[in-house]
Structure formats: structure tokens, C-alpha cells
Structure 1
């Protein structure tokens, strides 16, 4: 017994020594073995700060701790380390390794970064040296647990321009590698994740959680994703599919969710889809079922799309008290090429949306998100506040009104130019505006009501009835518009034919004011479409001019607005006028030809602001005016006349006229001592007067009454410089009273053929410095010249070479009167 105990004790001591020796051997040689094996197997630079090994109590389990580890890229891409970690822990069973079982119990990477990239012909992670082992035997290994704690992760695939990066506070993986496949299970939290392909960003700094199982089939260069759970912020998705990573990389992934908020969904969609929704806030729930599929190599981009169903959703215009509630809708979004938003399309079947009086139902389709082609078929009943709230920088602020539609609408919107594309507008159905009220800022109009009833087909838009009231103006409009599809074009050929009636129209109220920069509004067109409207205007006003009525046909070819034969009842008489306004550089040209019949000359001067002069005013004139007048004048951008740009010619007859209290005549009266010159009255006066170069040209004319005759000609400038030559003929009794007999001896006055006396007077200067003098020679020469012309005209008439009718003064070419 004692011997057995001794033998047992010896064996125990020997076993202890053997085991102790083995452990001591591992402890004393593990570092050089590990370093040697690392250097032997890797083709890149590896740096390790320190290596520590777990104690004997864990044997045969071995824990190795590497500190300050860094592994270089095999091909520089990030120009940083492929892997770097403050701490890397490795846990293995050395006995299993000794038996050839490549099983790693655990790997932990702490406070580090992993940066991988697939390049066009290589990668940045080919860090192992080529193996000399040519045996065909399969190799497998397994990592039971791989943990990444507080690590940055980045991956890029340059052929497809795919990029991703994130920060992971916690990631747990299990990995099993066999000859042709690798199985990977991942449970990770990724903060501030970024995923993009080319210029399309799919996840923009969002928080993700992923729980997935992945199989990598090496010989097929394919990644198979089993059904997985992905949470992007508040969106919970289930997904599965495959990813090809070889020379022909591709993706085929499906995803779905049962319910998420609309706002959460929009937050993770590409900017190319959501950029047009900046002013729209959507709240509610949506269920989606979508896909991400296609090639991702070279110039190829995958397709993206999903079906959706909106449930109890609301739409609000940001900054406006405008919303739609209870939206129930379904549809789809398709992007055949995620890098090309012009290939995108979307549909929406809107069962119902409502808010107060607002209701909306129908089908919406949009194609090409770069220049959206929009089609709508359905019914709308919307408040005016809702419609104008959708329009940015609208100058109209509605306070009431309803817009209703029932039909089909199609248009294409040019996002780059912020306008509807030419000839893209189509409408078929009915459009109603009911009791629209509000304030228009530019021009400033108080709109009391607008009612419009329009029906349309593809070829013609018919204004069945419309009436309006603003400020103190009321009116109606009926007619139709041909080629209405181009109505919003820059060069529209739309034409409206119809009937316009307006009462108390004040043209000045329609002036646009200057914009914020102080530059006046300017356009190459006076009106956006062509017009031909039978027009009746009652109680018409322009500046100080008023007309009881104006009737005619209003015509516009966009560059010109005219009424060729306008009947005007105004100024206590009647006028037939041809009126045209056209663009003239940045200004406008007003062209008027008139035939007037017995209008009140005093009212004419008064309502036309005495033609922008103060010397001869409405208070100085009386009588009725008949004849023809041609006038052309440049109007500024606020339609006010530029008087230096005025040309006019008037063949007129004034009946029962008077020139009363005219200051130069008062001075003339004092000069020639004839009181009757202060108020000159006459029965009939005829003349042709021309105005250009800011000067009134008055040919010789005779003013006759019982007391005296006044023969006068001369010029009168807009600056009130006058130059008149006159012959004043009076009866002998009046001449004696004026003491002309004594002056006759001085040869300033001579006896005329009617038994009276005639004085020849020159009057020149301004009213403040007017010079009046007798000058028989100059005046008589002017008269003699006129008599010679009359005599020549009479002889030509006798010979059959002319007539005794009054000659018409040649009309000057307007463009020659001044440079534009």
C-alpha cells in the first residue's frame, strides 16, 4: 500500500511537471510564434503595440490581447489603415487548433475602424500572401462571436459608385467559412449611417438597426440575404434578396413594411424624389412593398420602386393655414434607373381627401421627375385659399371663393425654368370659379367677386359665362379660346374671341407698380394671348378723361392692342376713333386717328390736363370742336405721355368759340388799346395745326367777329416761347376810339379795303418777357406770300390743273420726327 502511494505520488509529480512544462513552453514562446505567423502570412505592414496572453487557469482556452493594432491597405484607396483598433482580443481553444479544427471562440475589436473597398480590378483588403499549398483539400474555419465595439465602418464599391459608412457602438457577428461559401449572421446598430450610389443618396446620416443572416457563395460571387429586419429611424422593414459582387455586380432585394409614418418614409427617400415636397408636410401612415434591383457595375444603375397605401393621412402647406385630412390613397413609385430621375414615374389613386369644404378624389400620374409630366383625372372642390397657398410668391391673397373641376388635366412642368412647358397644357371637362374674393397686390385691386364657368375639350376652351367686380368696376366676359394649350407659352398662339362688357373701368388702376429693385415692369408683350372681343365700356376713365360709352372691337396680337373703329361718346359730343397701343422699346406708342363731332373744347382741355401746359387752359377756351385729329405719342412704362415725343396734326373747325382772359392777348389789348382783344369771340374758325418737336405750328388763319378781324400765324413751344405775326383789322369808329388815327400817320397802321384800319403786330417771347411791336413790312410780306399762293391756286384751278379746295397739310412721318 505504501509502495502504491509512492508510485501514485511520483506519477502525479511527473504529470504536474509535464503539464507545467507544456504551459511554461506556451507562455515563453507564444509571442514569437504569433508574431512570426502574422509576418509570414500577411503581405502588408502590420503594427502591434503590445501582446498579452491569458493565464494558466484558462488552459487549454487561450486569450490573446493585441493593443494598438493597425493593418495597412493592400492597395491604397482611403490612404488610411484598412483596420486599426485600440484593442483586438482573440479567444481560441489551442487543443482544437492543434487537432486542425479552425475554430475561434471569439474576436473583439474595440475603439477602431474598418475601411474596405472593391476597386475596378482589385481590392484594398487582399492582405494575405499567396499560399504555396496546392492541395485540393477543403479548408474551413468558424468564428463563433465577432464583436465590433465603438468602431467606424466604411465600404465602397467603385465600379458602381456605391458608398457607405457608419459608426457602430455595437455589432455582433458569427461567421462560418467553408470552401465555397461563408455564412454570416449580423446583429448591429449603426449610427449616422450614409448610403449612396453615384449622386443619389438613399440613407443620409440616419440611425440603423440590422438583424440579418447572409450566405456568401464564393464560386457564384453572390451574397444571399435571408429574411432580415432593418430599422431606419422609425421605419421597420423586412427584406431579403441577393447581391452579386463579381465583375458583373448586381442587386435584387425586396423590402416591405406593414405600417410606418409618411414623414419617416420621406426622410429616407432620395433627394431627387423629395426635393419638390419642401413646402408640403405629410402626416399619417403608409404601408410599402418595394424592390431594389439591377446591375450596379460600370455605367449601370439599379432600379428602385415600391407600391404604397396611405391610411388616414393629412397634407399641410408649411407656413399656411391649409390642409387636407382623411387622405386614403394607393399607388406606386418606379425608378428604372436610380441615377436618372427622368426615368421615374408615380401614380396615386386618391379615394378621398377632405378638409372643411375641400374635397378631392381621382387618379394622378407623374412621369419624369426632372420635367414632370402630370396627368389628373377626377373631381376637386377646393377653397381659393388652398389653391393659392400652393403658389409661391402669389400676389393675390384670397379671402373667399371656391374652385371646382370635373375632368382631365395634363401638363408638363419645367422645373429648371419654373414654368409650364410649351404646348403641354390639356384640359377636358368643366372648371368653375365661384365667388372669388381677395386682394391683388400688383396692381392694387380689391376683388369683390369673380365667377367663371369654363368647359373645354382638347381643341377649344369655352368661357360660358364670367363676371367680375373689383374696386368700383364691374363686367362680364363670354367667348372661347382656340389653341389654349399654348396659353402659358412664352410665344403663345392662343386666341380668344368673345364679348367684353365693363362699367366704370379706370385704366390707371390696372397699372403695375415697380418691383422691389426699383426697375419698372417690362415685357415684350402687351397681352399674353391674341384677342378679338366685341367691347362695350360704359363710364370709362383714363387719367382725367371720361367717356359715357366706348364701343368697338378690341383686338390684340400680343404686341399691339387696338380698337380700329371705336365709337366714343364723350366731351358732350361724339368721336369715331382708331386707337392702337404697341410696344416701343421699353415704352409704348399710342397712335390715335379720330373724326370728332362737336365736342366741348373746354372739357377737352380740362380732361386732358390742358395737354401738359398751363398757358392756355380750359378756363381760357369755349366752343365746340369738329374735324379730324391724328396723334402719336410715346407713353412711359406707367402709360403716361412723354410730351417731347408727341406728334399731332389737327384739321379742325371751332364754332361759337372764344379765347377768354388769355394773358398774351391782354398784353396785346393794352398795346393796341383795343379792349375787345381781352376776350376774343368768333362764330367759326378753321385751320390745320401741327405739333412736333415740342412746338405748335399755326398756319395763317382768320378770326372774324363784328368788332374786328384778327389774322394770325406763328409758333408756340411747350416751354411757352411764342412767336406770332398778326394783322388786326378794326372798323374806323373803333380805330378812332383806340387812337389809331394818330398812329396811321406814323405808317404803322394803314387803311384796309373795308374802310377800317389794319395794324400789323409782331409778338415774341415768353409770357413773363413778351415783346410786342408794330412791323408792317414783315407781316405784310407774310400776308402777301399767302395771297400769292392763293392767286396761283386760283389760276391753276381755272386751267384745270387743280381745285379751290383747301389743301391738306402733309402728314409727317412719325419716325422722322425724332430718333426713337
Structure 2
């Protein structure tokens, strides 16, 4: 017994080993077969990562798996992927592997996992799926498969159909399909089950949006006549059941189609079943009355030139529904809609919404519309007449809005247009008439940071334009009263068009931030952070003539604002904008742009008669341009040209600001009580009383860039002391200035008076000494250093020159007197006598000057005296600053 078991075990082990090993002997043959079939039948590039053969998976059949198959098109769709799959598996009898080349091979089962198939037709009519070779090798029986399929599956796959000529797109996702049948017999049956999500769009309009469709169908196969008959079939569109019957017959140039379908029940609950379950929720407990019926016929030739004719009707009469958890009912529902094509030409397909009426509470809403030329430039003709309380939307239907909305909408509108006219703003082809009114509308949108409350709005519709008369609204703390015209309301509502118009707007209070878009925060890498950024809404394309009592921007309150605002492409251009602020007048021109990653501005500001203290304390920009001005009291005229970037709060990024300015001070004095800078200057320059500094009619120019302000040299006066100031400071409050004081001699005290005591008064008054003060550090911690070198040199030179001139004059007088006495008044002197006279005068003068002092000793003595005098000027003294009588 043990021997028998041992032999049996060894035999089974050998068989199992053969089942594992033998496929490797056939794998090369299978690989060659697949490549040959591809090359003989397809005009495309086919690649796969692996091909395997197993006798274990499908025992007693062979199991062939092709992994990572990718089919790529050649011209005219070069390098575009036609199909890709994770793997395709074939199950067949082992004996099929031993057939000779040319013998038909029977495949019993096929499984496709995670396939993506893209069918595409370009604008020239080329199809990317025309990849089979034409000719004898492809059409003959050589190397062909005979399908004796009893089971096939397509799992978790997707299909895209794109027709660029008609702008039609069909997308199938989560596609799962399986079937059983025998394809080799002339007549047989195929049992199929299909589940998928379907999206359909024609000319950018979505007719199906991820709608769930299921289908259970038994299809009769008549292969000899290429006819496929639907015998017992039931499908679902979302939760709406549809039964259909008919056939599809394959012809040489297309398909002959004859199919009818309808929903088997007529309860109005079937209408709710059409809506995706995510939106309609659980409809089992919904109370309904009335009927709902869908019937359709599709019949005719489907070919490259024609489509089948069809007639699909959707009807409902006097229906109603109420969700059990919601307070209100929708009643008096009447639907009469048909989708037809009576010619077989795709362009002649049209939708006729003859009636679509309903009532909520006592509000009656009626509408009708026709849609023609759907596959190309769709023509729309619609009429809407009724009242709709927007707050009732969530009270009758389980819909969750991104933002709550309420208000009363009344309309009586006729409109006719084509979609191309909407997209190109061809107003002559947009025919509107009627009125729309809105009362107590309140809603929130991402376009504005606060809810928008429209207390009343009345619109008269004309061809291509809408007249606002008037429009009253509030958002945040701002109010708005608008009249004007809108040129593209239909395009704005139905497509991605701009809100174009020309408006007159007035407001009692207008806060700029109430009308700025807030961008979503970035959610990138952890290293990136971003706060919400304000943007000018990109849907605005309009001209606004504004008049506001108060406009608030940042912390500024502008009064009596008037001007024109042009908004387009997230750019606001300001034209002749004037206002009153800081007890003066302000004029602004320029633009603010937010269509780039970093918002920027380019403005010209003209201020007239500004209160200096109020303006420099109120505007951060002015504080940084001239921080010293916060110590001033008086009036200011200035013209500032500046440009730079804005931060997320719409405030200037100071280091990016550049430009230039011209400033003029009027009736100005210094308020230096709390200024460390003035205190340090007074300590270093005790001969100047800054309270008495004359700043009237002071004019200065300055330029700014890269975070620094360069002040051009300007002159001011303290009594009879002329002062020249120039230098730079940074937006970081660092300073580097130089002030040169030209000090008259009379301020120099008794030492200098004794030194120049014999100088004429006129000569003394002509003497002035330049004293330089270098101011560095920062405005909060300044450092003042005086430079006496130029003053010492200047005063020394002046004193020596005056003393020398006095000595020369004295000596000349003595010599003239001596020579006159010697030679008398003889007027007939020869040239030799004159020359001798000059030589004698010079010698006598040199002797006189030399006897008083040598040049070196005079210069040294005078210089020391001057240093002592000037040094005393900058020492603190316990005496009044103003010592001049």
C-alpha cells in the first residue's frame, strides 16, 4: 500500500511539475503568434511588457496573459494612445497550442482588466480606430481566430468617444461588462450585463453628467445576416427603469437600427429617478401624485453621412411631489418635452420643451423653449414667465447649496440667440425682450468676501442689452445705487462670458475690500504657505462713473469721491478720480492690476493743501517717504509718481515701491517736543532754535527705489542762517543726511570780535562760516556729528586775507606819503623814475608786513583762535539759544 501511495504521489508531483514547466516551452511560440497577429492585422504600434502561459490557472485549459498592453496610433494621430490595459487574459484548449500556422484557433474566454479606450474623430473626418489593415492577409482566414466564447468580461475600465467635428464627447467610467454566448454558430444568444457612469456633452453643453446606467440584455445573434436582436432587455438611467426592444443590422456602409423603449411604470416618482441619486437622495418615501412617461423610437440608417431618425417624448400632467423631511410641496407640475430628428441629418436634431410648469406655495412658474441645431451652433428660443422664491429651493428639494440664497425673482422674458453669438458678443443676433425684477435677494459667492443683499433691481431687456433702472444693493458695510446698461448678461449667465456694461454708481459708504475677490489658500508642499489674497473679479468688464460720499480704503476715509473706473481683465484703471481727505484735495490717476501672481500698481497722486500731521499719520506710504514730516504742523502740496507691488491685503510692498515726488510746505512749523532727532540736533547746534526754523514755501524733490529715499539738496533759512540739506533714508527708518549751516560772523562771540575788532562792520557782516552736521543712525536713535574742518579753513582764510589787506593798505599810504614828500608834486617823471617808484613801494610794504608778523605765525595763531571759537558754538550752554539782538 505504501508503495502504491508513493508511486501515486511521485506521479502527481511529476504531472504538477510538467504543468508548470511545459508552458515555458510554448511561451516563445505564443509570443511569436501574438506579434504575427498584430503585424498582420493592425496599422498601429503595439507594446506589452510581458506575455505568460499557464496550465494551472485555467486547468485543464491553457491560460495566456498579455500584461501592460499599449496600442499607439500612427499618422494622422501619431503618438496618441488608442488603447491601454493592465492585462488581457485568453483561455483556450491546450490542443489549440499544437495547431499549425494557418489553422484557426478557438478562444473560449477573454478577460480585460482596467482598459482605457479612446475613440476619436478629428475635424477632417479621420478616425483613430481605423487601424485594421486592408488586404488579403487581414481579410482571409489565415491566422484568424474562431471565437467560441462562453464567457467574457471587461472589468473596471473606461471609454472616451470624442468627435471634434460635431464637438460631441461621451465618457464612460467605472465600466463593467460581461457576457456569455457562442459566436461561432450562425444563430445564438448573448446574455450581457453592463454597469457604467455616462457623461454626454454636445457643443460644450452637458446633457448627462456622470449618470449611472445599468443594462441587462439578451441579444439574439444572427451572424449570417449580421443582425442583433434585443429580446428581453431592461436598463436603468440612474433609478429610472427602461425596457426596450428592436434590432441592429450591420450593413456594408453602416447599421440599420430599429429600437423602441419606454419606462414600464407611469408613477411620477420615475421623474425623480432620472436625477442622480446623490442629488435626489432616497426617493422611496417621497409622496407623489400624477404620472410621468418616457417613450422613444430610434429608426433608420447610422452611417458616416446619416444618423437614425428618432422621436423621444417626456410627459407629465398635474403631478406633485413632497419629500418627507422638507416643509413644502411642488405641485401642478406639467411637462411636455420631445427630442426629435425627422431627416436623419444630425444638424436637424431639436429639443422642444413645449411646457415646463410648476407651483410652489402660491408662486407659479411657467416656461417653454426650443433648442435647434444642437450638434453645431445651437439656436435657443425660450420664454419664462413666473415668480420664484429662491429660499424655497431647499425647502422642496434635498439640495445642498454651497452658499445660502433667498429672495424673490419675477420674470416675463422672451429670448432668442445662438451660442456663437453669446461667445462672440454678437449683440445683433441676441434678441431679448421683457422684464426681470429682484427683491430682497441675499446670497454669498466666492467673488465677494461678504454676502450680497440686493434690496431691489429692475431690468428691462432689449436686443443684446439690459437696462438697470435702478439697482440697490449692500455688501459688508457698503451700499450701492446703480443705473446703466449691461451688454452681455445672457453670455455672463449661460457661459464664461464677462459682465460687460456702462454704469453710473453712487454710494454713501463704499469700502474697497467689500468688493474684492478672496482667492483660495494654496495647499501645496508644507514649505509653502499663503494667506487669502484679494483679487479684482475677473468677470468684470465695465466702465463705472462713480460718485461716493465716503470711500474707505485700508484706514483712509476719502470724502466726496468722483471719477471714472475702468475694470477689465482684473485691472482697474482710475481716471480723474478726485476726493477730499486730510483737510485737502486729492487727485488720483493710474491703474491697479491683479491678473499676475503678485498684484501691482502704477499711480500718480496729486495732493493740494493737505494737513501734514493728518496725512503723514494716516498714510503709511507717506510716513516712509518722509518720516520727519510727522514732526511738522502745517499744509502740504505734493505730486507723487509711484509704482510697485501689493500684498494680499492690497497694501504696497514698500521694498518694491519706486518713483519720484515734488513736495511744497506751506505755513509750516516744527513740533519737536517728542523728537529725539531734533533734541540731538539742538544739543549739537546750540545756536539754532528749531522752534523758530522757517519752513514756509519750502520745496524739495526726492526719488525712491529699492527701499530707500534720496532727497535732492534743498535750502531753508533760520533767521539769517542759510541751511542746505540732502541725503537718504530707508523704509527701515535708517538715515544718512548732511546739513550745512552757513553761520554769519556775528554769532561767533567776543573772541572772534577781538580777533577782527579793527575790521570794518561791512567786512564783518560779509563773513559766514559753513558748519556741517552729519546725521546717521535711525529716526528713533539718531547720531549727530559736526564737521568743523571746512568752517575752520574758511574762517581762517577770510581773517588772514582781511588782516593782510589792511596791512597792505596802511603800508601803501605811508610809502605814497614819503615818496610824495621826497620828489614833490613834479608831474613830468620819466618811465625809469616810475619803475623805481614801484620797486621802492613794494620793498617798503614787505618790510611793514614782515615787521608785524610772518605768514606762518599769523596763520597758525588765527587758526587756533578760530578752532576755539567754532568749538564753543557746539557746546551746551546755560543761556538762551537766541542771543542776537
TM-score, normalised by the number of residues in structure 1 = 0.59
Other structure's SS at 1:260 match: coil
Equivalent pair of 1:653/1:687 in contact (CA under 8 Å): yes
Flag the 1:657–1:752 CA change in 2: closer, same or farther, 3 A.
Answer: farther
Distance 1:385 1:542, change over 3 A: same
Structure-to-structure mapping, 1:621-632, within 5 angstroms? 621-632=632-643
| 1:608, distance to aligned residue in structure 2 (A) | 0.5
What secondary structure does 1:306 align onto? Answer: strand
Kindly report which structure 2 residues correspond to 1:246-645, keeping only aligned pairs within 5 A, or say none. 250-255=256-261, 259-261=265-267, 264=270, 279=279, 285-295=291-301, 302-313=308-319, 324-334=330-340, 345-356=350-361, 358-366=363-371, 368=374, 375-385=381-391, 396-398=403-405, 400-409=406-415, 423=425, 426=430, 427-440=432-445, 443-482=448-487, 487=492, 495-517=500-522, 528-558=539-569, 560-582=571-593, 585-609=596-620, 611=622, 613=624, 616=627, 619-645=630-656
In structure 2, relative to structure 1, the CA distance for the partners of 1:302 and 1:635 (3 Å cut) is same
CA contact (8 A) 1:280 1:316 kept: no
Supply the distance in 2 between the matched residues of 1:259 and 1:763 (Cα, whole angstroms).
97
Mapped to 2, the partners of 1:263 and 1:77 lie a distance apart of 49
Cross-structure match for 1:701 = 714
**Partner residue, 1:811:** none
The separation in 1 between residues aligned to 2:550 and 2:755, in whole angstroms, is: 57
1:79 and 2:108 are equivalent in the alignment: yes
1:605 CA drift (Å): 0.6
Cα distance in 1 for partners of 2:763, 2:325 equals: 88
Q: Matched residue pairs, number?
A: 604
- 1:156-198 Cα deviation digits (max 9, x unpaired): xxxxxxx997799xxxxxxxxxxxxx9x9x9x9x895779999
What whole-Å deviation, never above 9, does each CA across 1:527-580 have from its counterpart, x for those lacking one? 534433321121111112211211122234546423322221111012333243
The 1:765/1:491 distance shift into structure 2, 3 A limit, reads farther
Q: Residue in 2 aligned with 1:717?
A: 730
Compared with structure 1, are the counterparts of its residues 327 and 686 closer, same or farther at alpha carbon in structure 2 (3 Å cutoff)? Answer: same
Please give the per-residue CA displacement for 1:84-131, whole angstroms capped at 9, x wherever unaligned: xxxxxxxxxxxxxxxxxxxxxxxxxxxxxxxxxxx999999999xxxx
Matched residue SS, 1:673: coil
Q: Return the offset for 1:720.
A: 3.1
Q: How far, CA to CA, are the matches of 1:654 and 1:599 in structure 2?
A: 10
The 1:499/1:245 distance shift into structure 2, 3 A limit, reads closer
What is the rounded CA distance, in whole Å, between the counterparts of 2:754 and 2:179 in structure 1?
Answer: 115
Question: 5 Å matches for 1:686-765?
Answer: 686-706=699-719, 709-728=722-741, 736=749, 758=769, 760-765=771-776
> C-alpha separation between the residues in 2 aligned to 1:677 and 1:641?
34
Q: CA deviation at 1:401?
A: 1.0
Q: CA distance change for structure 1 residues 347 and 77 in 2, over 3 Å: closer, same or farther?
A: farther
Q: Secondary structure at the match of 2:680?
A: helix
Q: Structure 1 regions of 5+ residues with no counterpart?
A: 1-69, 82-118, 128-150, 155-162, 169-181, 415-419, 746-750, 782-820
Q: Structure 1 615/466 Cα, relative in aligned 2: closer, same or farther at 3 Å?
A: closer
CA distance in 2, matches of 1:384, 1:744: 97
* Distance 1:713-1:431 versus aligned 2 partners, 3 A rule: same
TM-superposed deviation, 1:656 = 1.9
Q: Which residue of the partner structure matches residue 777 of structure 1?
A: 790
Cα distance in 2 between the residues matched to 1:404 and 1:692: 56
The verdict on how the C-alpha distance between 1:756 and 1:406 changes in structure 2, with shifts beyond 3 A counting, is: farther
How far off is 1:756 after superposition? Answer: 8.7
Q: Deviations over 1:228-286 (max 9, x none)?
A: 9976689888877676577675332444567424665786x8xxxx78x9645787631
How many Å separate the matches in 2 of 1:717 and 1:202?
Answer: 63
* 1:326-385 Cα deviation digits (max 9, x unpaired): 3211111347899x9998643322352122365321113345489976543121422334
Cα distance, 1:624 vs. partner?
0.4
Distance 2:326 2:744 in 1: 84
Distance 1:681 1:392, change over 3 A: farther
| Change in 2 beyond 3 A, CA 1:525/1:265 | closer
Compute the RMSD of aligned alpha carbons: 5.8
Write the distance in 2 (CA, Å) between the matches of 1:681 and 1:319.
80
- The answer as to whether partners of 1:251 and 1:293 remain within 8 angstroms in 2 is yes
- Where in structure 2 are there 5+ consecutive unaligned residues? 1-92, 97-102, 111-137, 154-175, 182-186, 201-207, 524-529, 757-761, 795-885
Greater CA drift, 454-463 or 754-763: 754-763
CA distance in 1, matches of 2:728, 2:221: 104
Residue 564 of structure 2 aligns to a residue whose secondary structure is: strand
Flag the 1:659–1:566 CA change in 2: closer, same or farther, 3 A: same
* Cα distance in 1 for residues equivalent to 2:608 and 2:307: 79
Write the deviation string for residues 704-743 of structure 1: whole angstroms up to 9, x where unpaired. 354855332222232333232223356878765xx99699
| Match of residue 67 from structure 2 | none
Q: Is the helix fraction higher in 1 or 2? A: 2
Counterparts in 2 of 1:312 and 1:651: CA distance versus 1, 3 Å: same
Looking at structure 2, the residues matched to 604 and 665 of structure 1 have their Cα atoms a distance apart, in angstroms, of: 21
State how 1:40-55 maps to structure 2 within 5 Å. none
**How far apart are the structure 1 equivalents of 2:379 and 2:594?**
35
Structure showing the higher strand proportion among its residues? 1
SS at match of 1:504: strand
Query: For 1:729-767, what per-residue CA distance to the aligned partner results, in whole angstroms no more than 9, with x for missing partners?
Result: 56878765xx9969999xxxxx99757965512314213
Indicate the residue corresponding to 1:646 in structure 2.
Answer: 657
Q: Is the Cα–Cα contact under 8 Å of residues 527 and 556 in structure 1 kept in the other structure?
A: no
> Whole-Å Cα distance in 2 between the matches of residues 536 and 350 of structure 1?
46
Q: 1:421 and 1:342, CA in 2 relative to 1: closer, same or farther beyond 3 A?
A: farther
Residues 509 and 756 from structure 1, CA distance in 2 versus in 1: closer, same or farther, beyond 3 angstroms? farther
1:663 equivalenced with 2:663 (yes/no) = no
